[in-house]
């Protein structure tokens, strides 16, 4: 594999991050989680108490930030940041800005043999020419159960029905927004992640082996 891009898209809490980390390690590809960029930007708006209902405020702030860290952090995973990240993701200016950061990341890391990038619009918009596109499917109830456990394990207070409601709300926002809505790209492979992780990785490894070996 050389300079390959594997796009991993799917709805909230569908396991894109865990799957992408697995692919990154197994196939020696650099991982980029585009959700981190939306979350980092949301955290900046939150800390600076910027009213995100006003598009001028958003544009002004974005023009002041040259770049954003690609690193994950526990403070990006709170329910408050998750909600705000999903709210700012509807704006085209935010999406264009974060799309540029993703292309910069790939350019800066040209020495890697390839990339696995996860998000909502990687295969459909950001890297339309990705070599392999995966779309992760998991029922909302299973996603909510997994996210609930993740939050409890990390010491956050959490209520299952609220998580389920938030996930459905974010699904709707992701699917119904005007700019880069969450869609299954025509040329994507549907990955069933309702079962065990091993069942999921077996589907993926088979696809990668068929494609590259």
Interface contacts to ligand CDP, rule CB under 6 A: 12-13, 17, 34-35, 38-39, 82, 85-86, 89, 119-121, 170, 174
- Minimum separation from the CB atom of position 174 to ligand CDP (A): 5
Give the residue with the Cβ less far from ligand CDP, 35 or 114: 35
Give the residue with the Cβ less far from ligand CDP, 7 or 29: 7
- Minimum separation from the CB atom of position 133 to ligand CDP (A): 13
Give the residue with the Cβ less far from ligand CDP, 13 or 204: 13
Q: What's the chain's length in residues?
A: 213
Give the residue with the Cβ less far from ligand CDP, 169 or 212: 169
Q: Which residues pair with 133 in a beta bridge?
A: 7
Rounded CA gap, 55 and 95, in Å? 13
Give the residue with the Cβ less far from ligand CDP, 55 or 209: 55
- Minimum separation from the CB atom of position 198 to ligand CDP (A): 21
- Minimum separation from the CB atom of position 209 to ligand CDP (A): 27
- Minimum separation from the CB atom of position 42 to ligand CDP (A): 8
Give the residue with the Cβ less far from ligand CDP, 4 or 147: 147
- Minimum separation from the CB atom of position 88 to ligand CDP (A): 8
CA angle centred on 208, ends 204 and 212, rounded to 5°: 175
């Amino acid at each position: 594999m050389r300079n390959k891009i594997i796009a991993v898209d799917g709805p909230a809490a569908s396991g894109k991050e865990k799957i992408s980390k697995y692919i990154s390690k197994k196939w020696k590809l650099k991982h980029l989680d585009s959700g981190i960029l939306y979350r980092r930007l949301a955290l900046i708006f939150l800390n600076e108490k910027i009213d995100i209902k006003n598009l001028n405020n958003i544009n002004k702030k974005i023009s002041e930030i040259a770049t954003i860290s690609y690193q994950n952090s526990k403070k990006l995973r709170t329910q408050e940041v998750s909600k705000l990240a999903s709210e700012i993701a509807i704006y085209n200016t935010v999406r264009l800005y974060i799309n540029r950061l993703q292309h910069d990341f790939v350019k800066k890391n040209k020495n890697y043999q390839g990339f696995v990038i996860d998000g909502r619009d990687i295969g459909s918009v950001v890297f339309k020419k990705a070599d392999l596109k995966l779309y992760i499917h998991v029922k909302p109830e299973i996603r909510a159960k997994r996210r609930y456990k993740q939050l409890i394990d990390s010491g956050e207070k959490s209520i299952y029905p609220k998580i389920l409601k938030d996930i459905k709300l974010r699904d709707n926002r992701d699917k119904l927004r005007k700019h880069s809505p969450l869609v299954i790209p025509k040329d994507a492979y549907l990955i069933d992640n309702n079962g065990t992780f091993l069942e999921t990785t077996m589907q993926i490894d088979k696809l990668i082996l068929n494609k590259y070996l």
